[in-house]
Amino acid sequence: GWFPSKDEKERLVLLEGIAKKHADSLAVVQAEERALEARLKPLYGIVSREFWVEQRRAISNSIETVHKMAADNAWYSALFSLGNVESLQELVVQILGQYVVATVVLYFFGVVFYALWTAPWTVYAYSSSVFDIIPGIVSYILAVGLMLLPLLVCGGALVGLLYFTAKNRAGPNPPPVGGQEARPPQAAPNPRAQE
């Protein structure tokens, strides 16, 4: 039937109690695992494979979050502007444009969050003494530089594109400042030629 019987209700309550008990024990085991990992990180050290695996995981999670947020932003923006587009091509271009702009802006904030929160805390978690200050600073700079690399490449490509676009608009020989055309230098008269 549509409604559970008394026996089924008792069985459901029993099974929910068992599931809650197992979920609680799982949470305890996971907390113990995190505590054990926190104690092991200083033993691995900053210059270790585990440190860089954690950095790679943090960077890939940041990038994945940025792409998901940018895609959601582009999709919802397209939904709200469906009445303003005249063709499917215009809609696709608008979605791609929104996605690219949102990705660049959100990636910048992802880099800031990584540089100011994630990277310092992981460097701290893997350090064990005062002697880890120099390797920690170097590792921090390398990790943040790795996260910044896509922004630097995009920024360099944009600057190069703007430079070559401006250069091509000006033509091969741009006019001199002041608006007057350049005249070839005149040769000084030779007094001996007049004699």
Structure token pair of residue 29: 């085991």
Predicted TM-score (pTM) of the model is 0.65
Concatenated DSSP letters of 147-168: HHHHHHHHHHHHHHHHHHHHHH
How does pLDDT run along the chain (195 residues), one tens digit per residue? 577 788 888 888 999 999 999 999 999 999 999 888 888 888 888 888 999 999 999 999 999 999 999 999 999 988 888 888 888 888 888 899 899 999 989 999 999 999 999 999 999 998 888 888 999 999 999 999 999 998 888 888 888 888 888 888 776 665 566 655 556 666 666 667 555
CA pair distance 119, 113, nearest whole angstrom: 9
